[in-house]
Chains A and B, each alone.
Chain A
Amino acid sequence: MTERTGMPNMWGRLTAGLVLGLLMIARPLVAVAQDVPVVHDDLPAVVAQSAPAALPDEAEPASAIDAGDTAWMLASSALVLLMTPGLAFFYGGLVRSKNVLNTMMMSFISLGAVGILWALFGYSLAFGEGSAFVGDGTAFFLRGVGLEPGGLATIPGYLFVAFQGTFAIITAALISGAIVERMRFPAYLLFISLWTLIVYSPLAHMVWGGGWLAQMGALDFAGGTVVHINAAVAAAVAVICVGKRTDYRQAGLLPHNVPFVLLGAGLLWFGWFGFNAGSAGAANGIAGLGFATTMFAPAATVVVWAFLDLLRVGKVTAVGLATAIVVGLVAITPAAGLISPMNAIILGGIAAVPSYMMLLWRARSGFDDSLDVLAAHGLGGTVGALLTGVFADEALNGVGSGLLYGNPGQLVTQVVAVVAAIVYSGVLSFVLLKLVGLVTPLRVETEAENFGLDPTQHGEEGYVH
């Protein structure tokens, strides 16, 4: 009994100390963290003894961790991580069999390289307090990150780092679709490593880490600008810097495994529920909204795409539908937790048209964005970002409204965010690729390109007879 009476005071002091420490590490959390010491300081010993409900608080004094939120974000992080192998299958099926491993490896290596870089530097550059443009070095090597909440109010700081890391990984991997079947693997690895730290992390800071685009009120729920426009612009720049495939438009460069493409699209959709609904940051109503829109918007894209296919060639194509799924998912990403499911269907349907047209144009052009990263992610992401500024409904999302809900200015803000992402990513990606090209050649020799990148870059073959 004497021990029990002494404990609340001790815990109270400890709590206050920890909370103070927390406040210094994560100043954005002030509003949430302030509640905690108030409750504990006022807590009389009698109440603590008579209320068993207070016991869990004694076990973890400073924690505001919510079990439901944490459970959902754990699952979401794993779902988003699965998107990268899914992307590997999507891209891998679209190339010729002699390049299937190289193409899939370009996604898989991101799981390693970008994953590590995120923990060491990227997270801090994106979510450290820093300036309006970039974070800082305070959380390099995850200094100051712990079991207690950080970044989000109700989940462990470590979990927030991991969740955000899965986004950095897939974003870098997305770029590879533009330069498959010809880029040297070491040059690619060096490029995405630098790109993650110099392009992705600062842009994530500008939009999600309290940077200038966030302060301006740009709406990007799950990463339309940070992930998709960003990666697509880098991809387009990479096409220019690396050049087109030697036999582009001279030989039939056909997908070698369409079932892989469909499998990849399916895995991407499954993982995208973590990407979009997980971006609510909690197991709440907005997560439910994000889940529903992520289900219905791509469905609408698929249906419109199928009709476009029917009108044009009289047949609905499998590669077309797989592409439509990705376009719809990309388009709903910035809007997922911000617009109603009915508007999501309209958004998904609209998004099909420009990407479809651009795919047709690209295949006839000299612009060898081999797997159409710009058409799917760049254009899809732009349409999604702009329509977010049209369909966002504050009554629903509690964050902001768009054009149709009495806030036409939001559309302008969205345009500014899109243009900022295009310019920032375009210029810096170009500089980085030129720098990498000075250190090591970007392209394989023509002979190796003809023979296949699997044997020449990796010493392996996807299919051994």
Chain B
Amino acid sequence: MKLIKAIVRPNRVDDVRDVLEKMNVPGMTVTEVRGHGRQKGHTAVYRGKEYSVTLLPKVEIEVVVQDSLADDVIRAIIGTARTGEIGDGRVFVLPVEHSYNIRTGEMDV
């Protein structure tokens, strides 16, 4: 199993979710996050003082899928979340040792 962490633009989240649901990805975790990569922040002015805001709002989508499905899911996320501009985000893929259902206590295979 793979854990896929995708950090995307906030306004792309709904589209990514729709695509993943169509691919029968069974569940996901969505978190509002802030961070930066190559995208520069913007300048904020509060009471005449300028501040540079370097951490920009993004949304992190986490899904756990079978190894066989991972490549398709990654491709789908990239295809959906991409705008072509700097700041489109990242996808990280991590191996998952085990996964359990808390209600039943069963381990997924």
Chain A interface residues toward B at CB < 8 A? 98, 247, 250-252, 447, 450, 455-456, 459-461, 465
Contact = CB atoms under 8 A, between A and B. Distances in A.
B106 to A, nearest CB: 33
Interface in B54-105: 55, 57, 85
B60 to A, nearest CB: 14
A250 B14 CA distance: 8
Contacts of A247: 11
A250 B11 CA distance: 10
B30 interface: no
A460 B45 contact: yes
Contacts of B9: 450
A244 to B, nearest CB: 15
B46 A460 contact: yes
B42 interface: yes
A465 B34 contact: yes
Pick from B10, B11, B53, B55 the residue with the most CB of A within 10 Å. Answer: B11
A247 B18 CA distance: 15
Contacts of B14: 250-252
B11 A461 contact: no
B43 interface: yes
Contacts of A98: 10, 57
Nearest to B13: A251
B96 to A, nearest CB: 29
A465 B34 CA distance: 9
Interface in B1-46: 9-11, 14, 34, 42-46
Nearest to B55: A465
A252 B11 CA distance: 10
B99 to A, nearest CB: 29
Interface of B: 9-11, 14, 34, 42-46, 53, 55, 57, 85
A123 to B, nearest CB: 33
B44 A461 contact: yes
A461 B53 contact: yes
B34 A455 contact: no
B43 A459 contact: yes
B57 to A, nearest CB: 7
Nearest to B34: A465
Contacts of A450: 9-11
A459 B11 contact: no
Contacts of B43: 459
B42 A455 contact: yes
B42 A459 contact: yes
A461 B42 CA distance: 11
Nearest to B43: A459
B44 A455 contact: yes
Nearest to A454: B44
A28 to B, nearest CB: 47
Contacts of A252: 14
A134 B28 CA distance: 62
Given A247-B11, A250-B14, 15 more contacts: A98-B10, A98-B57, A251-B11, A447-B85, A450-B9, A450-B11, A455-B42, A455-B44, A455-B53, A456-B42, A459-B43, A460-B44, A460-B45, A460-B46, A465-B34
B44 A459 contact: yes
B62 to A, nearest CB: 20
B34 A459 contact: no
A465 B11 CA distance: 19
Contacts of A455: 42, 44, 53
A196 B53 CA distance: 37
Contacts of B85: 447
Contacts of A465: 34, 55
A375 B10 CA distance: 30
A440 B72 CA distance: 45
Contacts of B10: 98, 450
A304 B45 CA distance: 46
Contacts of A459: 42-45
Nearest to B42: A455
A35 to B, nearest CB: 54
Nearest to B56: A451
A354 to B, nearest CB: 32
B3 to A, nearest CB: 25
Contacts of B42: 455-456, 459
10 contacts: A98-B10, A447-B85, A450-B9, A450-B10, A450-B11, A456-B42, A459-B44, A460-B45, A461-B53, A465-B55
Nearest to A456: B42
A16 B14 CA distance: 75
A29 to B, nearest CB: 47
A448 to B, nearest CB: 10
Contacts of B46: 460
A356 to B, nearest CB: 28
A465 B58 CA distance: 13
A456 B56 CA distance: 13
Nearest to A252: B14
Top-5 shortest CB links A-B: A450-B11, A251-B14, A459-B45, A459-B44, A455-B42
B87 to A, nearest CB: 9
A447 B55 CA distance: 18
Nearest to B33: A465
Contacts of B34: 465
